[in-house]
Structure 1
Amino acid sequence: MPKIDPNIFCHKLAINPLIRPISQKKRHLGADKRAASIEETTKLLNTGFIKELQYSTWLANVVMVKKNNGYNQILMHEADQDKVAFITDNSNFCYKVMPFGLNNAGKPLYLYLSITDHAISSVLVTEIGKQQHSVYFISKSLQNVETRYPKLEKLALALVTTARRLRHYFQSHTIVVRTEQPLRQILAKPELAGRLIKWLIELSEYDIQYQSRGAIKSQALANFIAVLTAEEQTPKDSVWTLYIDGASNSKGSRAGILLEGDHGIQFKQSLQFTFHASNNQAEYEALIAGLRLAQTMGITRINIKCDSLLFSSVEHPQTNGLAKAANKIILQGLKKKLDDSKREWAELIHEVLWSYNTTEQSSTKETPFRLVYGCDVMIPIEVSLQNIRTTNTNENNNIANRRVELDLIEEDRDKSALQQLATKRAIARKYNKKIKTRIFLEGDLVFKKVEDIRKPQGHGKLSANWEGPFRIHKVIGKGAYKL
């Protein structure tokens, strides 16, 4: 490529001679990035844009940026070529021409972090002599679970958020984080798990150093920005309404979602399932999708409206027959206690209910008390007697143990739901052996069962369970008919 004679014109970097040269430590690149850097370096070397360098004072890591950087025809001043050097796996190189957007010879930038209960902020500054000049500042309101992060995790979140928003600065400069908190020690722990290890991996591609804050300087600005960043008002403050509907036929299963808030704000979503599902199953999937949509928007108060019977779990006994079965057991217990004194049932109902709630159920293999509160019940007589639970009680560890029980209760409820489902299937198989299949033909007269949700309000147990007769108009198949 023809170049302009350096005697006529060349690039010369305006570098403060008082600034100490920066030589970055080589960072590890992944296999894909390493291969791409070698390929690009070979191209630049063949075209004469770079040259190999044996000795250097300024040295930067390779910055992988997906953009169309160009190279002009103006040469770098020979005395400044070693100041735009970079390190690779094979060797060190420097630019002979100035690439557009080059920022290798940048001096370190200093980062101050600040956090509050509802916000995080940071200020990126540069130092010239003893003076600091702001380069950039950011702030962010914490959302939902972020407000419950421990203090050091909030500080790490502030660092990660800054690195994401100011990626170009982090890639081109050494970033010195000035803080009085042990942030470096926290991120250097080998036993990190969850989001901290994810953040550590994300930050590992940058040259980040940590220093004690010393004088307050720009920390005051970071604190000021964090205080001014108000707690963001999210849709969770108002009650939203979720409308769901599902349908299933021979062509497949579909569902629709409508999430509606104040002032006519609406979010619509349609779903098509690749698996066979009944009407209730389709509406159940729609409900889950609707709740996930509300969760992503930070909505915590929601009113759900549907026209089907959902929830076949232990938390909703009214819809899976558990309530009717429990009432039957309670009634039997009352009859045993009352004998001929039927009018005293109100005085004994508490004893019967306590007995039922503290007895292990055959369908779930758990007591209703434990499924609700997450721990086994202790009756009053046990409190006054010496046993394992009372003698080993430690008030200091009680709260921590209670939190562990509450964390595990969801898993126990899931197991109970599976156990209940297995029991119901076993009973259904035994019952279905006695059922004789009957096939109807077009023109036959049949009655249709009335679903509980479609029964007239106020009729209660006196409402009709069947309606009709109806004449079969078409045989659809698999036990389905059009009336």
Structure 2
Amino acid sequence: MCVNFTDLNKACPKDPYPLPSIDRLIDSASGYKTLSFMDAYSRYNQIKMNVLDAPRTAFMSNTCNYHYKVMPFCLKNVGATYQRLMDRVFAQQIGKNIEVYIDDMVVKTAKESSHHEDLEDILASVRKYNMRLNPAKCSFGVHAGKFLGFMLTNRGIEANPEKCQAIIDMRSPTSVKKVQQLTGRIAALSKFLSCVGEKAFHIFATLKNGERFSWTDKCEEAFQQLKQFLASPPILTLPQPGKVFQGAEIRYQKIEQLALAVVVTSRRLRQYFQSHKVTLKTDYPIKYVLKKSDLAGRMVAWAVELSEYDITFVPRGNIKSQILTDFILELSSPPEEASVQPWTLSVDGSSNLRGSGAGVVLEGPDGVLVEQSLRFAFKASNNQAEYEALIAAMKLAREMEVKDLKAKSDSQLVTSQVSGEFQAKDPQLVKYLEQNEKLPDEKEEATRVRKMSAHYTMIGDRLYKIGFSSPMLLCVGEIESRRILSEIHNGSCGSYIGARSLAGKVTRAGFFWPTLLCDANSHVRSCDKCQRHADLHHAPSESLKSVMSTWPFYMWGVDILGPFPTSQGQAKFLLVAVDYFTKWIEAEPVATISSDRVKKFYWKNLICRFGLPKYIVSDNGTQFTMEHPQANGQAESANKVILKAIKRRLEGKDKSWVEHLLPILWSYHTTTHSSTGETPFKMVYGTDAMIPAEINPPSWRRATLTVTENSEALKENLDLLEKVREAAHFREFAVKQRATQKYNTRVIAREFREGDLVLKRLMGRDKGGKLSPNWEGPFRIQEVFGGGAYRLETLKGEMLPGTWNVTNLRFYYS
């Protein structure tokens, strides 16, 4: 079904929300090993229409008029609205493991083994926001696929085979219309056709106005060359900017060469320069040179060309301790080395009367196994054969680019000499040992090893590191390092210090190992007492969700206030209910709190007076079941108003707080509410109530209006009541939007999955004194409800009553 929304689209202002650049999305999603393509089911129909805007989508049929409850197609801003939704749903994943263009999504993973983790992360967001996918258009765990008209593979961006085949299968055009069809297909593949204007010049020339159509031999030649080229189109990869100076460019001044480098970079990365603010760090005054008024020649042209971009030139400044900086840079491991798994090398060499040989077995992660056998064409002793086997195995490991290697040999002599335990005295074995200890051939690797070794020394049979905090730091192994960390952190003189302080104390004690800081972090994070006494979370973990009511008495918030001093009728508690739309408060003092008493209050004060509500929002009391204890903000605000007024009206030890309840409620109902701009009395009855202050002296309306005029004015107010409520509703929405934006700036997102171990915050009576822990547990996440609500169970499988919000939970590391 198609509805013509032309007039509605003309009246609707344009949504300025930008759609992402297709070129950027394609560049970001190409070159990944494993991909998953997803498509939303009936995309725009998944978004509900605003109840106030839905009637504007009305259309006529043969029987009656209808309007859409969900967002239909063909509206002016549906694309921008849906893109805004996608950006919010995948706010944490876009650019990291997913790219989204309206309803088309591609999940990208560099390593095939971790693709399921990325899919689990993405599908969790899909389930959280109740999105629906179209299974007929989804494909998971593939190595290539179509996205926005392009073919994405791990090699790069490839042309769509169907578009290429459409041109290849075309016959030579016989009319202008056929040529227009051809040029349209060429334009769709222009990204893969270099110099297309020059190569297809004669084809485009046939479209000139005023000339008779003529398909010449040159047109046919260009057409056949185009077909031949598209038979094997190029593969596009991510840009690697770089250009060698040629010809006269070699003789440019240094400042001109630097300016040319900026110009060439901006041309090749034009889409990025146009979309982002670029910061250029340089020691040369390019900024001031390009702004000089007496520039001439090429520098003027370059300055004009660069002026269209937002480029900021920042000086690099002086770098102190350059030698130390270079040392740190060269010794720092690249990020990917953190996940490098060790390889095991087993060697064996032997010699007999028939000759000598060796066997090498290299075992790697994921079951990689490399076996190699050698036969020597020269005479060698058993020890020499063992050395030959070790050297050959080392060369094999270097060719395999092994970073972490553990070598094994059954020759105690060879292993002891290589490790330095035995001294090599045989001249032949000395040469083998020197060959084995030779630095790597690669210049960077050799420099790294040489600089690293300069900071270590052997004293006796122990390895020491020359440190800064201490002259000599003893290098210890894995078992000793665990014992040292445990003793300093939580030993007899330990005070459960932080990771950074713990690592510093280890070095001051004279010990060192390469993963000291990482191990200290792990030790402190998994310390049970540190976790139980950790600081409470003060930053919010979930975005603020404002609760809005659509009409009066649609939603009530209920809370229990007390206990108070015993007053009339043995009343100690106060049941409070507030309407979310009108802010009208109903309150009743009670002696005891029970489920039956609360039900009676609902029936008498809410249902019998205002009708059956759609929702009742309650607190985390035992009489209620709650998702978030702090979610009932409206009732909490009403409690504060009542409590403050009671305190101020009571004098001394007066316990008759029940007598003051009705005047307090009357004062509240006749006071303008800050969020709606109207009094609760007017929001309910359509007019402002008469207050005692208007009696003597009489107010203007009391002194001037007659009974008849007053009656007519009340009727007019009732006719305008809907407009008053609508204006108040919009005002409240704007106020809550501003509060939400301010609140969300402090949010630090944190979420858990089923099976995660967590600690629960101690609250209320469970909370002890100053020395008691802040957290208890651990507990296991049994169910995830969404919105930051979780159900917990003990490690024995016993379910905890109620639900717990993410604000009161933290990860537990075992």
Do these two structures clear the TM 0.5 threshold for a shared fold by scoring above it? no
More contact order relative to length (CA 8 Å, sep ≥ 6): 1
Q: How high is the TM-score relative to the length of structure 1?
A: 0.29
Q: How high is the TM-score relative to the length of structure 2?
A: 0.18
